[in-house]
Every structure is written in structure tokens, then in C-alpha cells.
Structure 1
Amino acid sequence: MTTGGSPLAAPPPAGRPVLAVLAGAAFIAASAPMVRLADTTAGMAAFFRCAVAVPVLWALMTADRRRAHRSPLARRARWLARLAGVALACDLVLWSHTIDAVGAGLATVLGNLQVLFVALFAWTVLGERPARSLLAALPLMLAGVVLIAGVFGSSTYGSSPGLGVLFGIGTSVFYAGYILILRAAGRNTAPGGDVGVIAPLYEATLGAAVGAAVLSVAIGDVRLPSPWPTLGWLVLLALSSQVVGWLLISRSLTALPAALTSTLLLVQPVGAVVLGAVVFGEDPSVEQLCGVGVLLAGVLVATAGRGGAATRRARTARTTRSASPPLQAASTTTS
């Protein structure tokens, strides 16, 4: 990563990356309420979120490449990033259905189950043994899901909490696929080539836009949004979450220990619950709120044990100017 100044310039103050991650998480936390305010189909919400972001990210990538003399992504890396985007499109469509079933806040909390599925896929497909911290967190995460689903209590929030949990699990599965495929794309860049953080995000967003368009046609979700307010909310969603939110987080991850970043990114699901209550009057039951706390505690336990190794990788990445996206810490947030 380059700052564009003198190579001998002092690094930015330690507080700036922290503030950037918090700001990025806040932008993404607002994405679920904006999807609900747009009041359109799941396919259209996913498509316009990505399609509007594509030209903006392309312009930013082009300017960044000229300014910092970035290397272009290799062809294989580009297509892997686009394939990751297709998985992201599936994630976003299912996530919209989760919002309809259990509300904006709980839907975002359920998306954090992808931490579990990333580890399971890496274990079964890539042969990477899960950390002990994840195994310790598994009962907590499952207990949180059961409580959110409304198995206990008679005043659960949501039109269909059980179905919402199933959609939420599907969301997490596809988001885990997005993370792992995008990580593979990062590993297929030229050794020592500095592609920056914008190029992989642009290619993935392009793939997501195409994937969402195909999905919308396949499931009969095509409905042109009204210029106002639907299209306005979708444009704001694209610019705030898909562009600003993810760029703020991506640019700051290599400057922070992974354990600290994982903790900071928990602002996102908590913020979504708060916004859901303030904007829509969402009122989860006591049992569901307990489930939120238990699930997020499980996420925190699962990610805390990986901080040391991730910190060493981040230091190596800064030294070698690696092009691989910092997905270890990013895997604690969603949508």
C-alpha cells in the first residue's frame, strides 16, 4: 500500500485506521435499512447496488493505477474475482429475503455466521484445520441462531423467524464462498505486483452486477424501480456501502491487528440492530436480543484466536506490497 508521498514519510497516526474501520462499518451497517427503504425486489436491490458502484469503482481504480503506478490484475485473478462476485450476488439476494423475514437488524446479525462457514469450507476443501477458538465458539454461535429463530418465547419479531434463519444461513454460505474465491484471486497475482485494494473490489462488484442481473431474470424478480424514492435509496446504498464502506475498511485492514479489526467490525451488526429499531420500530423479543449477544460473542471468540497469525501476515504484506486482499479480518462483516 502506498500513501502517494515520500517513501520516508512517517506513517499515519494509529488512530486513523481505527476511525476508518469504524466509519466503514457504520456505512455498511446502514445498508440493511436502505434495502428495506428501497422497497423493491431482492434481485433489483442486489443488481442496482452493484451496477451503480461499478463505474464509480472503475474511475477510482483508473485514477489510483495512474497515480500510484499499480500493476493490472492477472487474467486468472480477474476471472476469479468476478466469480467471487457471482457468489456475492447470491448472498445479497438471499440477504434481502432475510430482511423481509426477520427485519434489517437480525438479518445482518445472522450474516456473521459466514465466519463459521469460511472455516468449514477451508477445512473440508482446502485442508486448513480450524483454530481451536472457532471450535470453542461453535456452541455459542449455534445457541445464538436458535434464540434468534424464535424457538423459545412466544413474542418473537419477524414475519417468519425460522425461514429468516434459513435464509440467513444461505446468505452466510454464499458470503463464505465470496471470501474464499476472492482470496484465491489475490493469490493469483504476479509476485511483488502492487494492484492496490480497488481493482479486486471493482472486478468482484462487476461480477456481482452480472450475477444479480441473471438471478433477477431467472427468479422473475425484474421490476424497474421508481425514480424516487426507490432508485434514490439504491444509489445511496451503492455509493455508501459498496464503494465508501468497503474502501474505508480495505484500506485500513493491513494497518491493524486482525483481532482488533474483528472487534471493531462488530459495530456493523450491532449498528444494524439499533438502526432497525430506530428507523422501523423493529422490536426483537428478549430471547432474540439474547441470541444477538450470544452469536456476536461467538464471532468474537472465533476471530480472537487468529489475531497473532494475521498480524504477522499483515506485516509481511506491507513489506512485500502483496496484492492479496486482506480478507482474514474482513470475514467478520457482511453485506
Structure 2
Amino acid sequence: MQKQANWQTQYAPWGLIIGCIIFGLGSVIVAHVPVGAYAIAFWRLAVAALIFALLARFFAQKFPKNQQALRHALWAGVFLAFDLALWHESIYSVGPGISTLLNSLQIFWLSAIGVMWFQEKLSPLQISSLIMAIAGVALIGSPEFGHNANALWGFVSGIVSGLMLALSMVFVRKTQQAAHTPIFPLMLMLSLGGMAALIVPTLLLDSGKILPTTWSQIGWILIYGAVMQCFAWGLIAYSIPLLSLSLTGLLLLSEPVAALLIDFFFLNKAINTWQWLGAFLTMLAIYLGSLKGKSEK
């Protein structure tokens, strides 16, 4: 058992990085499917709920009997739902790459929550890497204000989505602390909690843009729910309880760097020297945070 636990801890950072990169690829789907921000978040979670229900039944994974664990999991889903919806709003305003960068300011929120709620202490190296990471993300995103009239809303919705994601991750962690919860029931509860939270906003804010209109759009939504929500978010949720919140925040910055590369190579977005410098600072911060995380084990 100890050997298995050590193996899980050793590879948890890689699982988190892979999950984040695939998670970020969903921004390209959102940008090209003409469904409202809240509606596509609802459908993503609905697809995931069906898949996780089937997986939980197939693998005979049980829901926790602990009521506190159930509540935490549902709250994690509520925060995840608004993370997705606001991230989608940011995608529509500033594009897939920048919106994902803004969402990744969750590093600040996660570290602050770790200090205030879980009494985690930050070393000078961690503080320096956090400052470096935030500066890197700022360098990557700041040029957008010079030519985009929707930049303000895009930045606000993107930054707030990061807070929602950080809170979702905290409640995933609290769920596992309350009672061990197998991954498939956990993800099903997240999906159900998020769907419930999105019903009213979807009906009020996305009227006329709730349903996909072509088979192609339906196919992309199915991919969005199955791959990005089930596989990628499943990896993230599995890895989070095995890592400190501060290290989690740093590793999650692999997502914006991947998004920037996607924008440059596949969506032909112009990237200036300052933005590349920001990407370098971000990757360096991730490396320093990873070294510190290993030394703490």
C-alpha cells in the first residue's frame, strides 16, 4: 500500500499537467460552437454526468455515505459550473488563448486559500515563483487591451472564472478529506451539482442559444463533455488531493502556456516578444514550484 501511495504521489503532477492541457483545448471547441456560454457549460456537464454514471455502475464504485462529503462534492460542482460559464464568456470576448491565461490566475486564489484555510506556509522560493508566474501571465495577456473593445469584460470574466475554479478544487479536496470518494461518483456529483446551478442562468441569459442546431455542433459538444470534462477534469480531480494547493496552482499554469502555443500554431494569432517572455517566466515558475514540491515530500 505504501509503495502504491508513493507511486501515486510521484505521478500526480504529471496527471495534473496532462489534464490541464487537454482541458484547455476545449476553449477551441467553445469558440467555434454557436451555443450560449451557460448553455454549453450545462451540456458539457450533462454529457459528463451520463458517462460517469455508467462508469460508476460498471466499476461498482459506491457513493460516500458521509453527508459532508456529498455536500462538498455538490458545491465543487456549483463552482465548476460558473467557472466554465465565465470562462466561456471570456473566450467569446478575448479568444481561447487569452481567456485560458486569465482563468489560470487561479494560482493566486489557490495559494491565498491554501494559506487562509489550510494553514499552508509559503517559503521564499514559493513566493518568488508565484510572483514570477503572475508576472508571466500578465505579460502574455496585457497586449489585448490595445485593440479589443471587449477586453475589459473578457478579462473580468476570465479572472473571476479562475476564482470559481480555485474554489471548486478546494471543495474537491475537502470532499476527500471528509470521506474517501471514488473518482467516478465524485465526478458524477460534481456534474449534477453544476447542472442544477446552471439551469436558471441558462434559461435567462442564453435564450435562443440553448440548443445546438447541426449534427456537427452536437458532435463537438459530445467531445467537449466526454474528453474535456470526463478525461481531463477526472485527471485533475484525481491529482489534486495528492498535492499541496500551492504546487497545484503552479502546475495548473501548464494550461495557459499550451493555450498560447495553440493560438500561435493553429489559430494564427500574433504573439509578440513580451508575450513569449511571459511564457518563459511562467514555465520557469512551474519548474521552481515543482522542485520545491518534491523537496517537501
| TM bracket (short chain) | 0.7 to 0.9
2:122 is the alignment partner of 1:122: no
* Alpha-carbon distance between aligned partners in 2 of 1:15 and 1:183, rounded to the nearest angstrom: 18
CA contact (8 A) 1:73 1:195 kept: no
- How many angstroms does 1:308 deviate by? 3.9
Q: Which residue pairs with 2:211 in the alignment?
A: 224
2:161 is the alignment partner of 1:171: yes
- How many angstroms does 1:31 deviate by? 0.9
- How many angstroms does 1:178 deviate by? 0.7
2:135 is the alignment partner of 1:148: no
Structure 1 residues 106, 308: CA separation in 2 closer, same or farther (over 3 Å shift)?
Answer: same
- How many angstroms does 1:29 deviate by? 3.1
* Alpha-carbon distance between aligned partners in 2 of 1:261 and 1:120, rounded to the nearest angstrom: 12
CA contact (8 A) 2:110 2:246 kept: no
* Alpha-carbon distance between aligned partners in 1 of 2:78 and 2:12, rounded to the nearest angstrom: 30
User: Among residues 65, 87, 96, which one is paired with 1:95 in the alignment?
Assistant: 87
* Alpha-carbon distance between aligned partners in 2 of 1:278 and 1:72, rounded to the nearest angstrom: 44
Counterpart residue identity of residue 234, structure 1 = I
Q: Matches of residues 1-335 of structure 1 in structure 2 within 5 Å?
A: 24-65=19-60, 72-150=64-142, 160-189=150-179, 195-220=181-206, 223-248=210-235, 267-302=254-289, 304-309=291-296, 311=297
Structure 1 residues 180, 293: CA separation in 2 closer, same or farther (over 3 Å shift)?
Answer: same
Structure 1 residues 133, 44: CA separation in 2 closer, same or farther (over 3 Å shift)?
Answer: farther
- How many angstroms does 1:59 deviate by? 1.0
Aligned residues: 295
Structure 1 stretches of at least 4 aligned residues deviating more than 4 Å after TM superposition: 11-23, 151-154, 248-267
- How many angstroms does 1:281 deviate by? 2.3
- How many angstroms does 1:15 deviate by? 11
The normalised TM-score by structure 2 is 0.81
Structure 1 residues 208, 152: CA separation in 2 closer, same or farther (over 3 Å shift)?
Answer: closer
- How many angstroms does 1:88 deviate by? 0.7
Structure 1 residues 34, 305: CA separation in 2 closer, same or farther (over 3 Å shift)?
Answer: same
The normalised TM-score by structure 1 is 0.73
- How many angstroms does 1:82 deviate by? 0.7
* Alpha-carbon distance between aligned partners in 1 of 2:46 and 2:232, rounded to the nearest angstrom: 16
Structure 1 residues 179, 270: CA separation in 2 closer, same or farther (over 3 Å shift)?
Answer: same
- How many angstroms does 1:20 deviate by? 6.0
* Alpha-carbon distance between aligned partners in 2 of 1:180 and 1:258, rounded to the nearest angstrom: 8
1:207-245 deviation line (CA, Å, top 9, x unaligned): 112222232234345522213332221111000111122
Structure 1 residues 178, 17: CA separation in 2 closer, same or farther (over 3 Å shift)?
Answer: closer
- How many angstroms does 1:27 deviate by? 2.6
Counterpart residue identity of residue 291, structure 1 = G
- How many angstroms does 1:58 deviate by? 0.9
Q: 1:305 is paired with a residue of what secondary structure?
A: helix
- How many angstroms does 1:128 deviate by? 3.7
Q: Which residue pairs with 1:4 in the alignment?
A: none
Structure 1 residues 272, 65: CA separation in 2 closer, same or farther (over 3 Å shift)?
Answer: same
Counterpart residue identity of residue 205, structure 2 = I
Q: 1:223 is paired with a residue of what secondary structure?
A: coil
Structure 1 residues 265, 210: CA separation in 2 closer, same or farther (over 3 Å shift)?
Answer: same
- Unaligned runs of 5+ residues in structure 1 are 2-7, 312-335
Counterpart residue identity of residue 111, structure 1 = N
Identity of aligned residues (%): 23
Structure 1 residues 308, 254: CA separation in 2 closer, same or farther (over 3 Å shift)?
Answer: farther
Counterpart residue identity of residue 59, structure 2 = D
CA contact (8 A) 2:69 2:178 kept: yes
Structure 1 residues 259, 142: CA separation in 2 closer, same or farther (over 3 Å shift)?
Answer: closer
